[in-house]
């Protein structure tokens, strides 16, 4: 059986490494800025995207909106992970189409449960 493909978009290499390690049961692909994230998502068509908000070139809100408002990619679950905890940020995350808005710090086990739940749908 093919492994599910997860795209992680984050500009911090340490975070990319940590998520990649935790998601070892999946095929993990990465991008380190929003513009590259869009390109990789369109090319690879991942089963799920883990998306940071504060990114170079295009922020996470724009990345999410571009993918969620495109018929070809809107079905891909997007989990936004961010340090932005204000209610207005959470609302904007949902308005741009994020399936989950998860604030840092968070428990890796909790993230893994959400990933597995979305990939089993």
54 close to 85: Cβ distance less than 8 angstroms? no
Structural domain span for residue 92: 5-119
41 close to 7: Cβ distance less than 8 angstroms? yes
23 close to 2: Cβ distance less than 8 angstroms? no
DSSP one-letter code for 99: S
Query: Considering its fold, how many domains does the chain have in total?
Result: 1
Tens digits of residue pLDDT in 64-87 = 999 999 999 999 999 998 887 788
For residue 110, what is the domain's CATH number?
A: 3.40.50.2300
Tens digits of residue pLDDT in 110-121 = 899 999 999 998
| DSSP run (H or E) holding 22 | helix 13-22
The predicted pLDDT at position 1 comes to 54
């Amino acid at each position: 059986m093919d492994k599910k493909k997860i795209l992680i978009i984050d500009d911090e290499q340490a975070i990319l490494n940590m998520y990649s390690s935790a998601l070892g049961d999946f095929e993990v692909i990465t991008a380190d800025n929003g513009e590259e994230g869009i390109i990789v998502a369109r090319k690879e068509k991942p089963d799920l995207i883990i998306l940071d908000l504060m990114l170079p070139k295009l922020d996470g809100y724009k990345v999410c909106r571009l993918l969620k408002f495109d018929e070809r990619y809107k079905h891909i679950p997007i989990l936004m992970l961010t340090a932005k905890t204000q209610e207005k940020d959470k609302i904007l995350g949902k308005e741009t189409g994020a399936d989950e808005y998860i604030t840092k710090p968070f428990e890796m086990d909790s993230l893994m449960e959400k990933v597995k739940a979305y990939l089993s749908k």
